[in-house]
Amino acid sequence: MKIFTSAAKLQKWCREKKRNGRRIALVPTMGCLHEGHLSLIETARRKKADEIVVSIFVNPVQFGPNEDYAKYPREEKADLAKCRKARATAVFLPSPAEMYASDHSVYVNEETLSKGLCGARRPGHFRGVCTVVAKLFNIVGPDFAVFGQKDYQQAQVIKRMVRDLDFGIDIVVAPIVREKSGLAKSSRNTYLDEGEKERAVVLSRAVAGVKAGEKAAAAKRRLRKMIDDAGLETDYVEIVSPDTLEDVKSVRKGDVVLVAAKCGKTRLIDNGKI
């Protein structure tokens, strides 16, 4: 497994692989890898990637000033071991200075799908995500990239960016990997104590608790109460159409339920398709 910290060197390596007809997959992550991330690597292999490039970069540009950038968990050594075990062929571990020149001044903005949900609560978040993912796409030039449904809005925003800016990269979205309890795996779960972990299970129960045919407003009220009663602080509960992310009035098969809530100090998200 090759380890790169230089964007230019990784780009050169990827271009050479492409010249030799190798099919490249990119799996972008912020590290502190868990089984959710490893499932994305597995998906890349199942989709017949010859080279699987995992990027590990806690992207400062996608964090707000009052968010957890400084304390976001970093586990470089363990992450490399996990990538090796999962048979990634290259890992990209850039420093912030490698990714952002001190006078960096170009950003990518998606202007519709990133307005609501997490975009409304985290101003600038998707601008940071789109910018870093566009950079990774340009560095690696993958045939396809794998993202998790865990971040449903993010996957939709990236698909739109790829379409609107003609990246010509297939976006594969892999299902959410969960703990046995139902809690969606997340690097931020490392912030939770045992009691919080138990309470946080309500999010997965909530997203599974909506049926086609229901009125969305009533379902949202019910979920919000469920989450608040479990001792979390609901940030949002939304039921949206899968591609436009617009609110629906009555719930149909294929719609998506998305929730975000604070459990103690930790903001968690989850979602599920009806």
Task: By CB under 6 A, tell whether 185 contacts ligand AMP.
Answer: yes
Task: By CB under 6 A, tell whether 52 contacts ligand AMP.
Answer: no
**Greatest pairwise CA separation for the chain in angstroms:** 57
Find residue 56's DSSP bridge partners.
Answer: 29
Instruction: Please report how close the Cβ of residue 163 comes to ligand AMP at its closest, in angstroms.
Output: 18
DSSP state of 177: P
- Token digits of residue 157: 């925003």
DSSP state of 214: S
- Token digits of residue 247: 């609110």
**Span from 29-37, 98-106, 164-172, 198-206 in contact with ligand AMP (CB under 6 A):** 29-37
Among 24, 26, 30, 140, binds ligand AMP (CB under 6 A): 30
Task: By CB under 6 A, tell whether 118 contacts ligand AMP.
Answer: no
The CA distances from residue 130 to 9, 84, 177, 201, in Å, are 22, 27, 24, 30
Comparing CB distances to ligand AMP, the nearer of 55 and 220 is 55
Task: By CB under 6 A, tell whether 184 contacts ligand AMP.
Answer: yes
Cα 251 to chain centroid distance, Å, stands at: 25
Task: By CB under 6 A, tell whether 267 contacts ligand AMP.
Answer: no
Instruction: Please report how close the Cβ of residue 132 comes to ligand AMP at its closest, in angstroms.
Output: 10
Comparing CB distances to ligand AMP, the nearer of 179 and 214 is 179
CB-based contacts of 173: which residues, under 8 Å, 6+ apart? 146, 147, 148, 149, 155
Distance CA 29, CA 37 (A): 7
Instruction: Please report how close the Cβ of residue 262 comes to ligand AMP at its closest, in angstroms.
Output: 17
Instruction: Please report how close the Cβ of residue 30 comes to ligand AMP at its closest, in angstroms.
Output: 4
Comparing CB distances to ligand AMP, the nearer of 29 and 234 is 29
Query: Restricting to residues 133-152, which ones interact with ligand AMP according to CB under 6 A?
Result: 147-148, 150-151
Number of residues that bind ligand AMP (CB under 6 A): 17
Comparing CB distances to ligand AMP, the nearer of 221 and 262 is 262
Question: Is residue 37 annotated as a catalytic residue, yes or no?
Answer: yes
The active-site residue, picked from 34, 37, 104, 125, is: 37
187-221 in b/e burial notation, b at 16+ Cβ within 10 A?
Answer: bbbebbeeebeebbbbbbbbbeebeeebebeebbe
Distance CA 235, CA 220 (A): 12
Strands 233-240 and 90-92: unpaired
Comparing CB distances to ligand AMP, the nearer of 183 and 223 is 183
- Which phi and psi angles does 148 have, rounded to 5°? -100, 145
**Span from 35-43, 64-72, 81-89, 257-265 in contact with ligand AMP (CB under 6 A):** 35-43
Give the residue numbers marked as catalytic.
37
- Where does this chain bind ligand AMP (CB under 6 A)? 29-30, 36-37, 39-40, 147-148, 150-151, 174, 176-177, 184-187
